[in-house]
Amino acid sequence: MHKYEKIWLTFGTSALVIFLVILGISAVHQGHSPAASGIETINPEHVRDDARFKEPGLYESDTDEYDYELYFVASAFQYEPREVEIPKGSRVRIHVTTPDVIHGFEIAQTNVNMMVEPGLISKYTANFNKEGEFLIICNEYCGVGHTDMTSLIKVTGGEE
């Protein structure tokens, strides 16, 4: 083997080893779970015991950040509530949880798209500035009734 071939082979192998070591250390050091800040948990067996999800729906917010808080429960091929009316121009904080399996939560024709997992409360802030009806669909296969899992948001004239 030529002297230059040995040098390049040694250099390439060394670079690969260094890369893999750095990758391994960063994976172990940083872990594979999401950061704990901002994640809100809930016991999936007691979702209905939580006051926020006992009667899911649209409620006026007591903060200046949002106009409304919207609570949804995704479970066994349905969303609760089945229909929500929101005034046009509202800034809404959406909270969704599930007591059973993983579901999706997508509001068609918007950028709202969340995965809903048992034990977690998924949150998203949205501005509803366009009047119309927006279909909520489950975009994560959850069982045989998955295709019937829908709800509706009606954005009506209101705040300008």
- The 10s digit of each residue's pLDDT in 82-136 is 999 999 999 999 999 999 999 999 999 999 999 999 999 999 999 999 999 999 9
Residues 23 and 68 in one domain: no
Residues 84 and 44 in one domain: yes
Residues 23 and 59 in one domain: no
Residues 11 and 52 in one domain: no
Q: What angle do CA 54, 42, 141 make, to 5 degrees?
A: 85
Give which of 119, 46, 55, 59 is closest to 90, Cα–Cα. 59
pLDDT in tens, 33-56: 555 556 788 999 999 999 999 999
Residues 58 and 119 in one domain: yes
- Domain encompassing residue 70: 40-156
Phi, psi torsion values for 42, nearest 5 degrees: -150, 145
pTM for the whole structure? 0.74
Return the structure tokens found at 23: 């990758």
